[in-house]
Amino acid sequence: MVRGGSKNKRPRRRPSFSIFNAFEGFAFLNLATTSFMGTNAISFFTGGDKSFGNVYDEGEKISLTSMLANPEEAFAGIMSNVKANSVQFLIQSVMLGVGFRLARRLTSKARSKINSYMIRPALGRGVSI
């Protein structure tokens, strides 16, 4: 006879914060804001020096404060930046994904040793590289 319940027990995984995944996410965020907003991610959110870290000279530079102040003009600027930089964005995002995948494979042993001998004793199991 079958044991009670047909629920399959799912394997549990401990939630952890990966520093490598955070860097990858920030790199994609920076690529998107540089391509579509004309400024880097930090300058987009802070509204600071808009000339720092720009890759593209063409198009408008848009920050979060300018989006809140004048959404119609900001949307028009975003659309012009998308038209001007969409091909470069697609190529760079594919290359960035491939680069991070390659780096993840090449550094897996080193990251494992750093996690087990340095990160876990210092920060616990919730953080990894």
pLDDT tens across 74-90, in order? 899 899 999 999 999 99
Q: Which of 50, 51, 52 is nearest to 64 (CA)?
A: 50
CA separation for the pair 44, 66 (Å, rounded): 9
Q: Which pLDDT value is given to residue 15?
A: 73
pLDDT digits (tens, 9 = 90+) for 42-57: 888 887 654 544 454 5
Q: Which pLDDT value is given to residue 58?
A: 55
In terms of pLDDT, which residue wins out, 15 or 77?
A: 77
Q: Which pLDDT value is given to residue 59?
A: 63
Q: Which pLDDT value is given to residue 108?
A: 93
CA separation for the pair 64, 46 (Å, rounded): 8
Q: Which pLDDT value is given to residue 54?
A: 46
Q: Which pLDDT value is given to residue 91?
A: 96
User: Going along the chain, which residue ranges are E strands?
Assistant: 17-18, 127-128
State the pLDDT confidence band at 10, using cuts at 50, 70 and 90. Answer: confident
Q: Which pLDDT value is given to residue 92?
A: 96
